[in-house]
């Protein structure tokens, strides 16, 4: 018996790595935030091998003439799980799959959907063509095996800003620029749900690698806030039914702007800006230090240049 | 090999690194780069008063900010040498302060991969005080083409210098930026083309306030910050690149 026990123990030692190799799965769950309107809320963390890049909010609206999917997630695996989830909620066909902007966590699930259903703003399509492969390299580096089999798919269809009628829902499509230079925001006029995409981060620090400028972004937040919305679905962070996400965005953008301007006028170096203290009122914003370091890299050089005088020869 | 010969070999080997402490970051290039940049028989101590500030990760591998803060350093710096351990050409700069101590300096560097960064400060006693920092990076900063190369109009801005002087509680901070591709020579078909010498002088006494040499690890369009303990009446900046272009500007007078 002892010998047999040893044999079993030995066998399981050998077999263990194969048997227990974890199957990567996102286990997506959707919440109905308004009639026919479902949101899959990601974490407010950063890309990692633990979360598979599931840090993003993805939504879908079930109309009586097909489903509108808003963003597709960070990987092929996510896209496939998303598609199964949509199909478990309705027998309506997926009519439109919209990519709000060209960042990888919003478009790398595109492979799971029929190409003819994929739509994006024209500038966004261009940017995805230009930056997609570099984003992909970076995602494989940060997220690892979750990305297996993921390829960049640029939507073949261009979506124009304006009105999009799908079944019993009417969407207003806006093209803004603050986050990436081409940011699609949708207002579902039927339900009052505003799909703000990454124009709005809530309790998660905003990211700036392609932002044309903090004050441009702040101006567009004011424009969004004036829309007749009832519910705001941010690109990252919890869904809210008041103006708290807008207020936080304006406050945070203003603080970033002031921090960069003041630092430049005092002649601070970039490393000094990265270490600036973050006000306690932003304690609830995840990733604020990490993103301040990134934002300083992206945007501070312009502020520095502007604060220096041209020295004549 | 007998035990005796091994012992003898060890004894013969020992003096080369007798003065080098253990690297807190365990970099494989620790001893090699110390000997390369500080000389063979050196006295080195780790010193937390040499504050080496880099971000924990490089958002842009071609432009990683470094600030060297010597405000807490009790010794007098005779020479400051900085290098990036795992870069193809690790050396970043060597700086000799003038009679007025340099209390802080900053510039951006490139990283080829995640690496330790070292700053060594030589004192009057002949001891190198060494500070370190680690930066994580996706890398590739040394072999990426400069942004300047992608810009057909680069010659229009070439050599444009912006600057400012900022008063400090004690002393003055000079900050300036020069448009220069700073090509590392590691991109196929693009020869090395970078600023090698930077000198700041007191315009009245002509004394150098500091003398600096830059190497290939320095980033494109350098943004340099120097803080001096005392304010010079007026400073003159002079730079020269490896193609013989010289740049000279007045820095002071805006306080």
What pLDDT score does B19 carry?
72
Q: What are phi and psi of A154, to 5 degrees?
A: -85, 125
With a pLDDT cut of 70, the percent of chain B lying above it is 90
What pLDDT score does B40 carry?
73
For residue A260, the SS3 value is helix
- Domain coordinates of chain B in residue numbers? 44-250
Enumerate the residues of chain A whose CB falls inside 8 A of the CB of residue B114: none
The CA-to-CA distance between both ends of chain A, in Å, stands at: 92
Pick the CATH number of A25-242 from 3.40.50.150, 2.40.30.10, 3.60.15.10, 3.40.309.10: 3.60.15.10
What pLDDT score does A1 carry?
44
pLDDT band at B216 (very low <50, low <70, confident <90, very high): very high
- Strands A118-120, A157-158: pairing is parallel
Separation of alpha carbons A66 and A297, rounded Å = 43
What pLDDT score does B6 carry?
53
pLDDT over 50 at A18, yes or no: no
- In the A/B pair of chains, how many CB contacts fall below 8 A? 77
With a CB-CB cutoff of 8 Å, which residues 164-223 of chain A face chain B? Answer: 209
Assess A138–B contact: CB distance below 8 Å, yes or no.
yes
Q: Which residue has the higher pLDDT, B191 or A162?
A: A162
What pLDDT score does A212 carry?
95
What pLDDT score does B5 carry?
57
Assess A302–B contact: CB distance below 8 Å, yes or no.
no
- Domain coordinates of chain A in residue numbers? 25-242
pTM value is 0.89
DSSP state of A116: G
Q: Give per-residue pLDDT as tens, A107-152.
A: 999 999 999 999 999 999 999 999 999 999 989 989 999 999 999 9
pLDDT over 90 at A25, yes or no: yes
Q: Are A308 and B59 a contacting pair at CB < 8 A?
A: no
pLDDT band at B11 (very low <50, low <70, confident <90, very high): very low
- Strands B102-109, B64-69: pairing is antiparallel
pLDDT band at B254 (very low <50, low <70, confident <90, very high): very low
Taking residues B159-170, what's their average pLDDT? 91
What pLDDT score does A3 carry?
55
pLDDT over 60 at A16, yes or no: no
pLDDT over 90 at B119, yes or no: yes
Q: Give per-residue pLDDT as tens, A152-189.
A: 999 999 999 999 999 999 999 999 999 999 999 999 99
What pLDDT score does A279 carry?
98
With a pLDDT cut of 70, the percent of chain A lying above it is 93
- How is domain B44-250 classified at the architecture level of CATH? Sandwich (2.60)
Q: Give per-residue pLDDT as tens, A74-105.
A: 999 999 999 999 999 999 999 999 999 999 99
Q: Sign of the CA dihedral A214, A220, A222, A224?
A: negative
DSSP codes of every residue in A119-173: EE-HHHHHHHHHHHHHHHHHHHHHHGGGGTT------SEE--SEEEEETTEEEEE
How many other CB atoms are there within 10 angstroms of residue B66's CB atom? 27
Q: Give every CB contact of residue A21 below 8 A, 6+ residues apart in sequence.
A: none
* DSSP bridge partners of A35: none
The CA-to-CA distance between both ends of chain B, in Å, stands at: 70
Q: What are phi and psi of B83, to 5 degrees?
A: -145, 160
Q: Are A313 and B67 a contacting pair at CB < 8 A?
A: no
Q: How far is B225 from chain A (nearest CA, A)?
A: 7
Q: Residue B113 is encoded by which pair of tokens?
A: 């991969």
Q: Which of B53, B177, B250 sits opposite A308 (nearest CB)?
A: B177
Matching residue, tokens 């400073």 = B235
H or E element in which residue B152 lies: none
What pLDDT score does B4 carry?
55
**Chain-wide mean pLDDT for chain A?**
93
Counted residue by residue, chain B has a size of: 255
Q: How far is A159 from chain B (nearest CA, A)?
A: 31
Q: In this structure, which long-range contacts are made by residues A170-173, counting pairs with CB atoms below 8 Å and at least 24 apart in sequence?
A: A171/A68, A172/A227
Enumerate the residues of chain B whose CB falls inside 8 A of the CB of residue A267: 164, 166, 173, 175, 225
Taking residues B63-70, what's their average pLDDT? 97
CB of A224 closer than 8 Å to CB of A194: yes
């Amino acid at each position: 018996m002892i010998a047999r026990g040893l044999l079993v123990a030995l066998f399981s030692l050998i077999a263990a790595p194969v048997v227990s190799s974890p199957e990567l799965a996102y286990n997506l769950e959707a919440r109905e935030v308004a009639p026919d309107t479902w949101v899959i809320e990601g974490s407010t963390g950063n890309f990692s091998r633990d979360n598979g890049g599931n840090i993003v909010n993805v939504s879908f609206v079930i109309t009586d003439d097909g489903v509108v999917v808003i963003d597709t997630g960070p990987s092929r695996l996510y896209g496939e799980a998303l598609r199964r989830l949509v199909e478990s909620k309705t027998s309506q066909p997926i009519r439109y799959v919209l990519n709000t902007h060209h960042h990888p966590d919003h478009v790398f699930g595109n492979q799971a959907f029929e190409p003819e259903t994929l739509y994006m703003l024209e500038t966004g399509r261009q940017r995805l063509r230009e930056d997609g492969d570099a984003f992909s390299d970076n995602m494989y580096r940060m997220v690892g095996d979750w990305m297996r089999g993921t390829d960049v798919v640029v939507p073949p269809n261009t979506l124009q800003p304006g009105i999009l009628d799908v079944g019993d829902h009417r969407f207003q499509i806006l093209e803004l620029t603050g986050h990436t230079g081409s940011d699609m925001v949708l207002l579902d006029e039927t339900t009052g749900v505003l799909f703000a995409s990454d124009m709005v981060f809530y309790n998660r620090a905003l990211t700036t690698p392609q932002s044309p400028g903090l004050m441009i972004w702040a101006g567009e937040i004011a424009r969004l806030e004036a829309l007749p919305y009832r519910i705001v679905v941010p690109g990252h962070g919890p869904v809210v039914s008041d103006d708290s996400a807008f207020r936080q965005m304006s406050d945070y953008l203003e603080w970033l702007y002031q921090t960069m301007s003041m630092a430049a006028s005092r002649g601070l170096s970039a490393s000094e800006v990265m270490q600036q203290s973050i006000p306690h009122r932003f304690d609830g914003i995840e990733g604020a230090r990490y993103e301040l370091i990134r934002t300083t890299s992206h945007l501070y050089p312009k502020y520095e240049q502007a604060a220096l005088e041209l020295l004549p020869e | 090999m007998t035990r005796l010969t091994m012992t003898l070999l060890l004894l013969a080997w020992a003096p080369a690194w007798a003065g080098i402490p253990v690297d807190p970051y365990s970099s494989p290039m620790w001893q090699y780069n110390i000997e390369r940049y500080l000389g063979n028989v050196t006295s080195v101590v780790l010193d937390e008063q040499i504050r080496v500030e880099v971000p924990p990760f490089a958002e842009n591998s071609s432009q990683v900010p470094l600030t060297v803060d010597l405000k807490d350093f009790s010794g007098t710096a005779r020479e400051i040498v900085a290098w990036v351990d795992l870069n193809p050409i690790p050396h970043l700069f060597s700086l000799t302060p003038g009679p007025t101590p340099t209390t802080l300096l900053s510039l951006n560097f490139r990283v080829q991969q995640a690496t330790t960064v070292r700053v060594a400060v030589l004192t009057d006693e002949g001891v190198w005080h060494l500070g370190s920092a680690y930066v994580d990076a996706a890398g590739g900063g040394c072999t990426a083409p400069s942004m300047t190369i992608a810009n057909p109009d680069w010659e229009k801005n070439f050599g444009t210098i912006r600057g400012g002087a900022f008063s400090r509680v004690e002393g003055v901070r000079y900050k300036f930026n020069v448009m220069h591709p700073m090509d590392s020579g590691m991109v196929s078909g693009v020869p090395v083309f970078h600023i090698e010498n930077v000198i700041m002088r007191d315009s009245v006494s002509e004394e150098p306030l500091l003398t600096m040499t830059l190497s290939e690890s320095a980033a494109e369009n350098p943004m340099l910050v120097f803080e001096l303990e005392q304010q010079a009446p007026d400073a003159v900046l002079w730079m020269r690149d490896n193609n013989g272009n010289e740049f000279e500007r007045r820095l002071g007078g805006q306080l």
